[in-house]
Amino acid sequence: MNGVILRWPVPIGTTINAQYYKKVLQDKLRPAIRKRPGLLESGILFHHDNAPVHTARAVTDVLAGYKWELLEHPRYSPDLAPCDFHLFPKMKEHLRGQRFETEEDIIQATKVAIKNLDKCSYVIAFKDWLQRIEKCANNGGCYVE
């Protein structure tokens, strides 16, 4: 709820598989979390969807070792991912109408777009996500907008 912890642009041509995702968790996300005072000590609630990369044994083993609490994501519910209904639309508002010459220009513009999101919007997104999850649970695992 306190904003983006890690913004990691995937290099062009990179295949996102379990080994790549595991390495990002180990080498990028966990160190980024450690930089936030008290975050690890207060306990991590970790959410990602159930894409095969996220549910692969190599990834689940690493996360189990971290002792983070994993929040379940209902099957076939990509519309419940906060990035899809909150972060990406907000970034699109900021980036709309711009043209980019290089990949680095895109990376910098998205960095600015994320940085410009106010802290309150993350709280709203989290509350909206909880309502969406509850609605899905009340509908037997199906989400209806």
pLDDT by residue (tens digit) across 57-85?
Answer: 999 999 999 988 888 777 767 667 777 77
CA distance 48 to 129: 12
pTM as predicted: 0.71
* pLDDT, tens digit (0-9, with 9 covering 90-100), for 9-22: 898 899 999 999 99
User: Which whole number is the average pLDDT over 91-110?
Assistant: 91
CA distances for 106 relative to 28, 32, 96, 99, 133, angstroms: 20, 22, 12, 9, 32
Residue, of 87 and 102, whose pLDDT is higher: 102
Per-position DSSP letters for 89-123, written without gaps between them = HHHHHHHTT---SSHHHHHHHHHHHHHTS-HHHHH
